[in-house]
């Protein structure tokens, strides 16, 4: 899914030279990740510290944790290649949308209110928030089930990309790489919890920033500079690929909305706001996160916009279909061994950061929202036992996702269902959760019935998309449905926007299902705070 043919990166570069540079870099990278995991053990004594870092994580760590969870290897190789090919330089708008809608606006709208209300309600996960905000244990269980079903395929796809990279570059058997990656990620998450994840995300984020800038400079230099590269692209592919909005503005808009607005409803993204330390951290984190997204996301899509300069028969399948995952590797194939080695570490850092976030989110959700309530009906569970169970579920999730990745490559290599399941995960999660979470923070009138409607609509729409993509059902001849289900990008946007419309309408007609004690739940926003005059004139 992410980079099934990364071997072409080394096509014109002596493999031994690259290996001599890349291997020491990887050893240092792995050693640093593991050291951070062990060093952060003191921050895992309680559930709150293991899952949220004690709600005392500063702006730099939180902002980089948000950014690195947002942008994995999918964006660098998969999306940058695909959308750069489709939209040309206009694909840069996707990265800017990620920066200003997915980061700046998300932090501004959700950051403070999420931090305040989740602490007031004592919720540690998104499903836990739904229970305490809407007075419904059933909502928590259903939300946990949605998280489990749709995060696992997403996690497995990340293993797939990492393993394909190392398998092609270093000729290591696929299943060996899967196990190595699973063990390495598991060790530092299990030992260090959220704090180790956040610190490693910061380190990985620095690598991503440096790597993206270096690759862009190298590619532009290879093509005679920015002006020469743009002129060459216009001459070879056509003026529309260097125009402001590209050849297909409508599709571009849908991609921007899905990849930007989607972060507002993803539990692994919103969870970063639970842990942030204070007001100053929110302000600084907003700026840092936006800058990170401009460089990483904007840089990736800008780079992908030059993909058509490298058009060649090697980019096409036997049937003539463009192989999106080959575009970026082909673009990078003639770069120096140092740059190639840096790319390898960059892709690794991008994937491991997202991987650790997904695993921690999945394990904490299942432990705290499903398992712990079942085991504490008669006797309260200790903090140490809760953390232990969470660690066991981290092992379970890592093993399960790794198994899916291995089986997909061997026994299930032609299984369209698994591949499409991975594709609809983002849209299903964001479609189900975005509206109930956003309205839950701002509107007292949001009802339990409206939340249920959003859950059904978001996941239902994406399950229909899954069935259409697999070929189980057809909507041919139905113009509106054909447009909605053009692909998972379109249906994902309709799932999110539809939820934002459905929740207020459903709340209006289901006032009887309003939760209790709303004034008390929203009182957290009215609590007075004391500050200094350098922060407020009073």
For 382, the token pair is 């200790």
Strand partners, 316: 322
Residue 136 lies in a domain: yes
Q: How confident is the model at residue 4 (pLDDT cuts 50, 70, 90)?
A: very low
User: In this structure, are 421 and 365 located in the same domain?
Assistant: no
User: In this structure, are 356 and 456 located in the same domain?
Assistant: no
| Higher-confidence position of 231 and 42 | 231
CB atoms near residue 503 (< 10 Å): 25
Q: How confident is the model at residue 13 (pLDDT cuts 50, 70, 90)?
A: very low
151, 125 contact by CB (below 8 A)? no
Tell me the DSSP string of 150-207. HHHHHHHHHHHHHHHHHHHHH---HHHHHHHHHHHHHHHHHHHHHHHHHHHHHHHHHH
CB atoms near residue 506 (< 10 Å): 22
pLDDT in tens, 304-328: 999 898 888 888 878 888 877 778 8
Residue 250 lies in a domain: yes
193, 43 contact by CB (below 8 A)? yes
User: In this structure, are 344 and 289 located in the same domain?
Assistant: yes
Q: Domain boundary residue among 364, 396, 413?
A: 413
Q: What is the pLDDT of residue 418?
A: 60
Q: What is the pLDDT of residue 167?
A: 56
146, 429 contact by CB (below 8 A)? yes
127, 139 contact by CB (below 8 A)? yes
327, 315 contact by CB (below 8 A)? yes
Tell me what the mean pLDDT of segment 159-164 comes to.
58
* Distance separating alpha carbons of residues 24 and 245, to the nearest angstrom: 43
341, 332 contact by CB (below 8 A)? no
User: In this structure, are 405 and 434 located in the same domain?
Assistant: no
- The closest of 360, 395, 350, 293 to 158, measured between CA atoms, is 350
Tell whether the model's pLDDT for residue 536 goes beyond 80.
Answer: no
57 φ/ψ angles, rounded to the nearest 5 degrees: -90, 130
Residue 538 lies in a domain: no
User: In this structure, are 194 and 326 located in the same domain?
Assistant: yes
User: In this structure, are 157 and 304 located in the same domain?
Assistant: yes
CB atoms near residue 367 (< 10 Å): 27
pLDDT in tens, 319-369: 888 877 778 878 877 788 888 888 888 888 887 788 888 888 888 888 888
Q: Which residues contact 31 (CB under 8 A, 6 or more apart)?
A: none
Q: What is the pLDDT of residue 2?
A: 40
Tell me what the mean pLDDT of segment 112-126 comes to.
91
* Domain region containing 296: 6-372+380-413
186, 390 contact by CB (below 8 A)? no
Q: What is the pLDDT of residue 52?
A: 80
User: In this structure, are 202 and 220 located in the same domain?
Assistant: yes
- The closest of 23, 17, 317 to 166, measured between CA atoms, is 23
Residue 266 lies in a domain: yes
Q: How confident is the model at residue 502 (pLDDT cuts 50, 70, 90)?
A: very high
316 φ/ψ angles, rounded to the nearest 5 degrees: -120, 150
Strand partners, 57: 276
End-to-end CA distance of the chain: 54
> Left if phi > 0, otherwise alpha if psi is -120 to 50, otherwise beta: which for 477?
left
- The closest of 511, 319, 376, 349 to 25, measured between CA atoms, is 349
Tell whether the model's pLDDT for residue 104 goes beyond 90.
Answer: yes
| Strand spans (E) along 292-418 | none
Per-residue H/E/C for 228-273: HHHHHHHHHHCHHHHCCCCCCHHHHHHHHHHHHHHHHHCHHHHHHH
* Distance separating alpha carbons of residues 88 and 82, to the nearest angstrom: 10
* Distance separating alpha carbons of residues 68 and 212, to the nearest angstrom: 13
161, 18 contact by CB (below 8 A)? no
User: In this structure, are 408 and 428 located in the same domain?
Assistant: no
Q: Is 109 helix (H, G, I), strand (E, B) or coil?
A: helix
Residue 147 lies in a domain: yes
User: In this structure, are 193 and 232 located in the same domain?
Assistant: yes
For 182, the token pair is 């699973």
Q: Which residues contact 295 (CB under 8 A, 6 or more apart)?
A: 209, 212, 213
Q: Which residues contact 480 (CB under 8 A, 6 or more apart)?
A: none
Q: Which residues contact 254 (CB under 8 A, 6 or more apart)?
A: 489, 490, 493
Residue 506 lies in a domain: yes
Q: Domain boundary residue among 389, 413, 437?
A: 413
Alpha helices of 71-136 — where are they, by DSSP H? Answer: 73, 80-87, 92-99, 106, 112-121, 126-134
Lowest mean pLDDT among 76-85, 91-100, 460-469, 529-538: 529-538
Q: Domain boundary residue among 357, 388, 413?
A: 413
Tell whether the model's pLDDT for residue 14 goes beyond 50.
Answer: no
Looking up tokens 């419309």, which residue turns up?
501
For 136, the token pair is 């419904």
Residue 534 lies in a domain: no
Q: Which residues contact 533 (CB under 8 A, 6 or more apart)?
A: none
Residue 188 lies in a domain: yes
User: In this structure, are 222 and 110 located in the same domain?
Assistant: yes
* Distance separating alpha carbons of residues 300 and 259, to the nearest angstrom: 14
User: In this structure, are 190 and 52 located in the same domain?
Assistant: yes
Q: How confident is the model at residue 127 (pLDDT cuts 50, 70, 90)?
A: very high
Q: How many residues does the chain have?
A: 538
pLDDT in tens, 260-284: 998 899 998 898 898 888 878 888 9
276 φ/ψ angles, rounded to the nearest 5 degrees: -70, 150
- The closest of 522, 180, 227 to 351, measured between CA atoms, is 180
Q: Report how many domains make up the chain.
A: 2
CATH code of residue 71: 1.20.1730.10
Tell whether the model's pLDDT for residue 164 goes beyond 60.
Answer: no
Residue 385 burial (10 A CB sphere; 0-12, 13-18, 19+): middle
> Left if phi > 0, otherwise alpha if psi is -120 to 50, otherwise beta: which for 385?
alpha
Tell me the DSSP string of 72-87. -HIIIIIIHHHHHHHH
User: In this structure, are 24 and 97 located in the same domain?
Assistant: yes
């Amino acid at each position: 899914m992410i980079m099934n043919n990364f071997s072409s990166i080394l096509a014109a570069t002596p493999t031994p030279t690259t290996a001599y540079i890349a291997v020491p870099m990887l050893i240092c990278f792995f050693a640093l990740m593991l050291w951070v995991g062990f060093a952060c053990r003191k921050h895992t004594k309680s559930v709150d510290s293991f899952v949220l870092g004690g709600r005392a994580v500063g702006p730099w760590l939180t902002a980089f944790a948000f950014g690195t969870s947002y942008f994995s290897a999918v964006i660098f190789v998969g999306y940058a290649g695909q959308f750069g090919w489709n939209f040309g330089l206009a694909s840069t708008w996707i990265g800017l949308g990620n920066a200003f809608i997915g980061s700046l606006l998300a932090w501004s709208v959700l950051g403070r209110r999420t931090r305040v209300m989740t602490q007031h309600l004592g919720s540690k996960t998104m499903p836990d928030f739904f229970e305490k905000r809407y007075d419904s244990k059933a909502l928590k269980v259903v939300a946990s089930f949605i998280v489990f079903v749709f995060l696992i395929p997403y996690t497995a796809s990340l293993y797939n990309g990492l393993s394909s990279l190392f398998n092609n570059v270093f000729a290591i058997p696929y299943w060996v790489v899967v196990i190595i990656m699973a063990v390495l990620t598991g060790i530092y998450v299990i030992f260090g919890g959220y704090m180790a994840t956040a610190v490693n995300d910061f380190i990985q984020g620095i690598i991503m920033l440096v790597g993206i800038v270096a690759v862009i400079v190298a590619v532009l230099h290879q093509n005679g500079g920015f002006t020469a590269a743009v002129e060459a692209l216009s001459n070879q592919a056509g003026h529309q690929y260097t125009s402001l909005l590209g050849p297909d503005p409508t599709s571009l808009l849908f991609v921007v909305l899905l990849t930007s607005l989607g972060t507002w409803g993803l539990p692994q993204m919103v969870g970063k706001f639970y842990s942030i330390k204070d007001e100053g951290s929110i302000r600084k984190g907003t700026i840092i996160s936006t800058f990170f997204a401009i460089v990483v996301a904007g840089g990736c899509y800008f780079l992908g916009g030059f993909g058509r300069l490298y058009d060649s028969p090697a980019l096409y399948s036997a049937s003539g279909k463009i192989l999106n995952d080959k575009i970026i590797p082909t673009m990078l194939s003639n770069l120096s061994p140092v740059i190639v080695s840096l790319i390898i570490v960059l892709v690794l850092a991008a994937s491991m950061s997202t991987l650790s976030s997904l695993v921690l989110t999945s394990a904490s959700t299942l432990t705290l929202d499903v398992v712990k309530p079942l085991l504490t009906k008669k006797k309260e569970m200790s903090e140490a036992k809760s953390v232990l169970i969470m660690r066991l579920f981290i092992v379970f999730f890592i093993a399960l996702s790794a198994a899916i990745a291995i089986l997909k490559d061997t026994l299930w290599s032609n299984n369209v269902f698994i591949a499409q399941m991975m594709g609809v995960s983002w849209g299903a999660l964001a479609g189900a959760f975005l509206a109930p979470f956003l309205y839950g923070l701002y509107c007292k009138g949001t009802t339990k019935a409206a939340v249920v409607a959003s859950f059904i609509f978001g996941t239902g729409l994406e399950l229909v998309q899954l069935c259409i993509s697999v070929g189980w059902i057809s909507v041919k001849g139905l113009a509106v449905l054909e447009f909605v289900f053009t692909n998972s990008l379109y249906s994902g946007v309709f799932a999110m926007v539809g939820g934002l419309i459905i929740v207020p309408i459903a709340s209006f007609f289901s006032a009887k299902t309003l939760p209790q004690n709303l004034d008390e739940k929203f009182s957290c926003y009215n609590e007075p705070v004391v500050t200094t005059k350098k922060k407020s004139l009073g």
